[in-house]
Amino acid sequence: AQSVTQLGSHVSVSEGALVLLRCNYSSSVPPYLFWYVQYPNQGLQLLLKYTTGATLVKGINGFEAEFKKSETSFHLTKPSAHMSDAAEYFCAVSLTTDSWGKLQFGAGTQVVVTP
Partner 1 sequence: GAGVSQSPSNKVTEKGKDVELRCDPISGHTALYWYRQSLGQGLEFLIYFQGNSAPDKSGLPSDRFSAERTGGSVSTLTIQRTQQEDSAVYLCASLRDPGGEQYFGPGTRLTVT
Residues within the interface to partner 1 (CB under 8 A): 36, 41-46, 49, 51, 90, 92, 97-108
CB of 97 to partner 1, least distance (A): 5
CB of 45 to partner 1, least distance (A): 7
CB of 35 to partner 1, least distance (A): 12
Phi, psi of 79, deg, nearest 5? -60, -35
Count other C-beta atoms under 10 Å from residue 82's C-beta.
13
Cβ proximity to partner 1, 44 vs 86, nearer residue? 44
Cα(32)–Cα(78) distance, integer angstroms: 21
Count other C-beta atoms under 10 Å from residue 62's C-beta.
15
Report helix, strand or coil for 84. helix
Cβ proximity to partner 1, 17 vs 105, nearer residue? 105
